[in-house]
Structure 1
């Protein structure tokens, strides 16, 4: 137990105290090896074990199906479903290799190491059978719909026939992204299990094949090709160069530079709005790795600027970013609180980028973000019983988390990154720089510090309790050195103790630094305040979230398998925090009184709401503002009731039963869900069509759209006659809106039903359309 005493608040230390005590931070830092850290019991340790069980349930031979088939070898397992049966097939294997290797390092799982070695052997056999360095599992969809080996696209590309879109390259989805995952898996095997000549041979052999493709293209053609998502392929070749010192790989890495995205960032310009978010983050990780190799300052500038803009102007309170996978304008988070927020891959990659920046120059604010995103987004991404993963982590009030199937038949990109994220929760707790020991995350763990021949124990119940204690359980090479304990930016005070006694500590760069002569058995403790506070969204002070220390709180709205059809809860009144009362402090649970409209709620940690519906963001109103808000709501409800009373037929697009009931047919068309609305779109060359009932008299066809859609144009046909051409162009940001299309009476006269078809113009998308309604026109009012 700590002895009573009052410690000097860190923020009250005089300027220059760190220098006066001789404890300035080192210029750079490096993390402890993952294998040197063992997690003690906690939610994090539980997540690793659940993930290990998930990994070992998967069948490596099924993930290898296409690799063997395309190499002309007999397959050993049936291909998995979901994305593994689509043109992005094969991407999971790289993630799987990483997950196995990281799990082996984190907990010493020999089964994982054995399985990883088996996969490397199989990939070696596939590459040998191909004979030219090629090895892959992705497919190509030809124009006639036939699915073939994705290798077919590369001779076309080398001839200059490059058909590149955001995710499609000559009929194959994201092949270079796919290879980036494989490279990362191979390097993780080497780094976390042990040296592997076979893994390196696969990497260099495949590099030779990719190099030939790029060598056939001029610089303009490369830029056309890079318009298709290519992951962090620049990082892959930077890493291959770092391991082989062969300059051909560095040349290729620097050629994989997407000017359209990276040039503005190098010039410190935020042009992120309306571009796919996770497509970009790996490019910046690649630039970060290239900066470490080349020392080119423009690479560093772009990586730092991107991190600053995303974390401070494009991120939600849980640390995630993007809505429907895309960045919006800076400081517009309040307009994008939906069930399609926070793709896990984005945060997985942002944490990687954060580690690079911290290694260059230790700064506690970097880990303020890291902790926020790791605790509140990554930990929320795993279903903690059986190990499924979310794609999006929704922040819209009443939304529930959708997890990947337990039988492994979906394999979204976020399933792959989830396999990795939950294998390595100990990777960033401890860092060292010079003779300084950093504690960056307060996660219970034991660690081996090789430089000092030390065994460390970090004991804590944080973030549920504020006290964390680091004990030098063993210290073979004791002596004087600094221990830097991160003091989060939100902490107004922090108390420091050594062996239970209060001590002064210097501050530098977001750390409390205790420098003394340490010996085995010494313990240093930090106590952080865990008071509730409100955080406003960037750009909108009236939209707030509740945070306790680093932990985002959520109002519990009931079981996920129930329904939520009530208005979004709002906060009304003056001193809002005064209306929270703790009901289970050890579990961070609170009850409100007279605060929430329409009724008070219990607040709990957001990340633990895996099987519950939540509210995270709240509009705040004074009592007078709330009266006006209710009145506007009632006007809108009256409008909707009037249209409902005149409705002839309603089509709920994107919902299975209504689409069957209305005989929907489609090509290159996909269901979507956004902000509680289901819908459907159609891509270039596709359409969707359905029947609707009609009745005599003037009728109006009404379609619902989202006001922030990028520019796209499409036709609306009724019984093969065009009734309208619609262009969406972000004309009504932040809201859904209806467009009415009066139908000529001859078009419906004498009919009981019509066929409605949405057809995109070339290189456009039709919709998404969030519902279609047919209703009678209001009778004309006599003059």
Structure 2
């Protein structure tokens, strides 16, 4: 074991994790809950999948859930990152000791395999041999019969890199290099087309990891591999100025673009982040990253800083599904968007990156862990009067648990940036910056936006001229500024109050900001509005009734809030113009407000008042963030009723949108000779062999409803619990055998008796190897009567 005691030097414009400590406040509480969750993990259980894959005996049973369902070891990679990052921001030695325990186990596995490979993927060592031989069978979330194995392996590599950088472990760096050399041995004989084929399946941020490792070690071959792993299917349309995101799995794409941004950052940039007469390849990566950023941040991001529905990018012109679905923004997405924001800030000052970081950290991320008992959130529904589910320790092993373990160190990264020796305060939250390279210590204390003041105490070891820039956010007005209690008039340039002086000893700067209440419509301009006071999104409580699965159980889809959804027509309607005028102040010390609304009662809209408060304080309860807004109340009510009429979810007991990753995984997808795809927000799966899902089955009368797009040559059979069944009802039949086909199949007593209680195995088989047609959706529907 060898460990470097030197803290990583400042690179780019952001600060390394260990340079910033959090002061008392919500961020510190969330970070503490994450730290407690990390320390509660059984390290030997995390190592078990790696030992099994390496052919070694394990003294502990692996964790269950996703950790024993094909993504074996993915939490281990996240946990390695978490221990390193949390040690960097807290200095607690127990974290470093546990990190070394993980490295001990992983090193044993790497040595036993002997090729440099280390990972928890089932039958993982053989994967490299298969790929190197050109045997590549890739679907959207499977590769050679394994559930996103490269995504999983990326978590291990990223953990090693984090242990090397944030954990200052030279051993981890050596292990990461051995892993990278193994990967290079796999891909060296493959064509670019074959590598692109591998990248069909979600692969996490492997491209970005290779670039980072190459920069750390000065190895251009690793950087070159990062370029090769760029996935041109996404890169090229983005770099050409297009927007190909509709319908794509969001968190598959974001890490790719993190890699594009890191590659763009390799080229010299001017003070604006632009590459002057630079490398055309770097410019292309920069163009792709810029196009993606614009599409997601400007056209797809919600008030809390999250994006997507059911893990996928919805059409940017239509947020209907976002507002009606129980599976709202995924926390993993936001964690990765914050990494993209950090890299954009490293390249050059970027106001939109600061605003996204503030919006996401102050609302989505800090609220994604329960502030009292812990537990991480997967989906944060935007549907009015719905709720969130929290993970259960030692049981829930979702991707958002892994991201949550390490992601609550993001706060430390994004509070301050610098322009050479000059400092910017970007986010107002209690914190301390130790900038040892510049002999500078900065202590920021504030209760914004609950109070209107922030105090920044600057201590400089030696007299030195420098400029301090204090952000004046778009949500506030600058009231006044003092230096050592003496008023100063500071110019506000590009949204920053500028103080240029020679700093010596200790200087206290106080800035007073007057936050504003802002009404924020959805990006598509539809009739919904959210309210923010300063950086804080406001919401209303909607009761604690029927919070089914509030703390996740062992079910396949336990991360989804399956409780009943409140009808949309019961949503409060804001009729004031502008919407802000409907808001009256309440208790300023608690940031509460009263919102004048109309509510539907017995078919009529009657006046009422809704109490607004910070969304981050609402847990274990239903909530509403967005409110219907229309100056014509009858039109608003008609719209809400239309949404209820279109929303058949009350009758749908279970549903799989074919070709959407997580719903398929959650329903035990299996198959042979099957492919999935999607375009323009429509997803599908077809086969020339077979595929199947395990659907939840109610005790009540029910049926299975399918929606296919057929071609003239399509031929298939449908089996339920192994029994071939014919349709009991045809809803839509395509003309000439081509087009949409919708059919229903009864869940008869014979079908139920042939399967396990509470479950129906739905299977599609192609007839004689013909094309099955494209399955769009299969649903289990409660039957009337």
Scaled by the length of structure 2, the TM-score of the pair is: 0.80
Displacement of 1:319 in angstroms is 0.9
Contact 1:364-1:486 at 8 Å conserved across structures: no
Task: Give the Cα separation in 2 of the matches to 1:91 and 1:470.
Answer: 41
Verify: 1:520 aligned to 2:529, yes or no: no
> Closer, same or farther in 2 for the Cα pair 1:714/1:466, shift >3 Å?
farther
1:264 maps to: 237
Task: Give the Cα separation in 2 of the matches to 1:395 and 1:682.
Answer: 32
2:560 maps to: none
Moved more, 122-131 or 590-599: 590-599
Task: Give the Cα separation in 1 of the matches to 2:389 and 2:646.
Answer: 33
Task: Give the Cα separation in 1 of the matches to 2:490 and 2:633.
Answer: 47
Moved more, 488-497 or 123-132: 488-497
2:300 maps to: 314
Among 109, 127, 137, the alignment partner of 2:92 is: 109
Displacement of 1:60 in angstroms is 0.9
1:610-669 deviation line (CA, Å, top 9, x unaligned): 2221111111122xx32345467779989999xx9xxxxx773369xxxxxxxxxx9738
2:543 aligns to what SS in structure 1?
strand
Moved more, 60-69 or 718-727: 718-727
Structure 1 unmatched ranges of 5 or more:
1-27, 140-148, 645-649, 656-665, 671-679, 730-737, 777-783
Task: Give the Cα separation in 2 of the matches to 1:36 and 1:195.
Answer: 18
1:184-229 deviation line (CA, Å, top 9, x unaligned): 2112222223241x21221111112211221232121111111011
2:661 maps to: none
Displacement of 1:401 in angstroms is 0.9
Displacement of 1:705 in angstroms is 7.8
Verify: 1:122 aligned to 2:98, yes or no: no
1:517 aligns to what SS in structure 2?
strand
Displacement of 1:106 in angstroms is 0.9
Displacement of 1:448 in angstroms is 1.4
1:180 maps to: 154
Task: Give the Cα separation in 1 of the matches to 2:641 and 2:596.
Answer: 25
Task: Give the Cα separation in 2 of the matches to 1:195 and 1:462.
Answer: 38
1:477 aligns to what SS in structure 2?
strand
2:463 maps to: 478
2:555 maps to: none
> Closer, same or farther in 2 for the Cα pair 1:597/1:368, shift >3 Å?
farther
> Closer, same or farther in 2 for the Cα pair 1:376/1:681, shift >3 Å?
farther
Verify: 1:620 aligned to 2:629, yes or no: yes
Contact 2:66-2:397 at 8 Å conserved across structures: yes
1:216 maps to: 189
Moved more, 570-579 or 55-64: 570-579
Contact 1:714-1:765 at 8 Å conserved across structures: no
Moved more, 552-561 or 593-602: 593-602
Task: Give the Cα separation in 2 of the matches to 1:448 and 1:499.
Answer: 21
Displacement of 1:46 in angstroms is 1.2
> Closer, same or farther in 2 for the Cα pair 1:224/1:669, shift >3 Å?
closer
Verify: 1:171 aligned to 2:180, yes or no: no
Displacement of 1:332 in angstroms is 2.5
Contact 2:490-2:498 at 8 Å conserved across structures: yes
Equivalent residue runs for 1:291-302 within 5 Å: 291-293=264-266, 296-302=282-288
Verify: 1:98 aligned to 2:98, yes or no: no
1:578 maps to: 581
Among 202, 217, 222, the alignment partner of 1:244 is: 217
Contact 1:281-1:346 at 8 Å conserved across structures: yes
Among 145, 148, 165, the alignment partner of 1:191 is: 165
1:470 aligns to what SS in structure 2?
strand
> Closer, same or farther in 2 for the Cα pair 1:638/1:517, shift >3 Å?
closer
> Closer, same or farther in 2 for the Cα pair 1:774/1:123, shift >3 Å?
closer
Contact 2:732-2:741 at 8 Å conserved across structures: no
Structure 2 unmatched ranges of 5 or more:
1-10, 268-278, 548-563, 602-607, 657-666, 672-683, 735-739, 753-759, 767-771
Task: Give the Cα separation in 2 of the matches to 1:376 and 1:155.
Answer: 45
2:24 aligns to what SS in structure 1?
coil
Task: Give the Cα separation in 1 of the matches to 2:150 and 2:235.
Answer: 18
- CA RMSD after TM alignment: 3.6
2:249 maps to: 276
Contact 2:34-2:405 at 8 Å conserved across structures: yes
Task: Give the Cα separation in 2 of the matches to 1:112 and 1:636.
Answer: 50
Among 376, 380, 395, the alignment partner of 1:393 is: 380
Among 539, 544, 549, the alignment partner of 1:554 is: 539
2:604 maps to: none
2:691 aligns to what SS in structure 1?
strand
> Closer, same or farther in 2 for the Cα pair 1:115/1:723, shift >3 Å?
same
Task: Give the Cα separation in 2 of the matches to 1:770 and 1:570.
Answer: 32
Contact 1:533-1:577 at 8 Å conserved across structures: yes
Contact 1:458-1:471 at 8 Å conserved across structures: yes
> Closer, same or farther in 2 for the Cα pair 1:446/1:497, shift >3 Å?
same
Displacement of 1:55 in angstroms is 0.6
1:464 aligns to what SS in structure 2?
coil
2:262 maps to: 289
Equivalent residue runs for 1:189-588 within 5 Å: 189-196=163-170, 198-293=171-266, 296-337=282-323, 338-406=325-393, 408-472=394-458, 474-493=459-478, 495-559=480-544, 565=566, 567-574=570-577, 576-588=579-591
1:652 aligns to what SS in structure 2?
strand
Task: Give the Cα separation in 1 of the matches to 2:189 and 2:695.
Answer: 43
Task: Give the Cα separation in 2 of the matches to 1:345 and 1:213.
Answer: 29
Contact 1:487-1:511 at 8 Å conserved across structures: yes
Displacement of 1:490 in angstroms is 3.3
Contact 1:701-1:774 at 8 Å conserved across structures: yes
Contact 1:571-1:596 at 8 Å conserved across structures: no
Task: Give the Cα separation in 1 of the matches to 2:232 and 2:57.
Answer: 42
2:265 aligns to what SS in structure 1?
helix
2:179 aligns to what SS in structure 1?
helix
1:743-776 deviation line (CA, Å, top 9, x unaligned): 9xxx99xx98887985446677755444425459
Equivalent residue runs for 1:77-88 within 5 Å: 77-88=60-71
1:300 aligns to what SS in structure 2?
helix
2:551 maps to: none
Verify: 1:589 aligned to 2:597, yes or no: no
2:424 aligns to what SS in structure 1?
strand
> Closer, same or farther in 2 for the Cα pair 1:753/1:613, shift >3 Å?
same
Q: How many residues align?
A: 688
2:411 aligns to what SS in structure 1?
coil
> Closer, same or farther in 2 for the Cα pair 1:356/1:638, shift >3 Å?
closer
1:527 aligns to what SS in structure 2?
strand
Task: Give the Cα separation in 2 of the matches to 1:283 and 1:694.
Answer: 45
1:8 maps to: none
Contact 2:78-2:405 at 8 Å conserved across structures: yes
1:12 maps to: none
Task: Give the Cα separation in 2 of the matches to 1:639 and 1:325.
Answer: 21
2:678 maps to: none
Scaled by the length of structure 1, the TM-score of the pair is: 0.80
Displacement of 1:689 in angstroms is 7.8
Among 11, 18, 38, the alignment partner of 2:21 is: 38
Displacement of 1:392 in angstroms is 1.3
Contact 2:151-2:203 at 8 Å conserved across structures: yes
Equivalent residue runs for 1:635-714 within 5 Å: 652-653=653-654, 668=669, 685-686=691-692, 703=705
1:494-544 deviation line (CA, Å, top 9, x unaligned): 533323343322233332211123333322222222222211111225211
1:432 aligns to what SS in structure 2?
strand
